[in-house]
Amino acid sequence: MEQVTEQVTEPVKLQLDGLTKAFGRLAVLDDVGFDVAPGEFVAVMGPSGCGKSTLFNVIAGLDAPDVGRVLVDGADVTGDVGPFAYMPQEDLLFPWRTVLANAALGLEVAGVPRREARERARALFAPFGLAGFEDARPRELSGGMRQRVALLRTVVQQRPVLLLDEPFGALDALTRADMQAWLAGMRARFGWTVLMVTHDVREAAFLADRVVVLSSRPARVVREIDVDVPRPRGLAALAPVEETLLATLT
């Protein structure tokens, strides 16, 4: 009797299916497609101006693709902002609001009552290293702490997928390294599904489970690189991954 081997399908949280986008005659995305598993951290890299931010805007429902779909847990969510919490490059904290009020802002905009929104945000201040700064103003915080507030404001919305667009790009090298280590620990603690744009090869190798490399515009996926390095990761162990990424990007 012939034995039938059952194939096990890996679960998919986020699926990008043939995303194509142009602005007039300017082609920006060309059939971009890849999957992200539940709890996976995927970094997206590519030449400057290749279309990474446009890709994020399409995923987040801020721009409509000309062709293609965005799926979360198998459901077509193209054009829907609901499944995504999007953290842009700048922290965009309002200087006149307290840190707690800034952290709760996304929930309030989504219709959560102010008191409930602020209590939900307050619960994350200790694990985010912000306890005691609830009533401070953004100008009283360091750059790294401001980014923590921005990330707290993002994750407290409890969306299925986090989109991080170069979250540490504006920080100095030492602060950026500290924030990368902090983010790695927080992601391990909370099990977030993360898609992150970065130009930093070392950041991608340190944080990501996999790196998706895009071509120059119009962006296509040219390679996907698994970062097969045990966590916690030392810099020496990441050197081969960084060399592979540099060779792919140049």
Asked, for residue 5, whether it belongs to a domain, the answer is no
Alpha helices, DSSP H only, in the chain?
52-59, 99-103, 105-109, 114-122, 143-155, 173-190, 201-207, 235-249
Q: In this model, does residue 140 exceed pLDDT 90? A: yes
pLDDT band for 1, please (50, 70, 90 cuts): very low
Query: What is d(CA 44, CA 36) in angstroms, rounded to the nearest whole number?
Result: 12
Residues 220 and 103 in one domain: no
Torsion (CA) 188, 240, 169, 234 in degrees, nearest 10: 50
Model confidence pLDDT, tens digit, residues 28-52:
999 999 999 999 999 999 998 999 9
18: nearest Cα among 66, 68, 52: 68
Last residue of a domain, one of 108, 134, 158: 158
Q: What is the mean pLDDT of the chain?
A: 91
The secondary structure element, H or E, covering residue 70 is strand 67-72
Residues 59 and 109 in one domain: no
Model confidence pLDDT, tens digit, residues 197-245:
999 999 999 999 999 999 999 999 999 999 998 888 887 888 888 899 9
Residues 22 and 129 in one domain: no
Last residue of a domain, one of 128, 158, 188: 158
Residue numbers of the domain that contains 132: 94-158
Residues 51 and 109 in one domain: no
Residues 170 and 243 in one domain: yes
Alpha helices, DSSP H only, in 52-113?
52-59, 99-103, 105-109
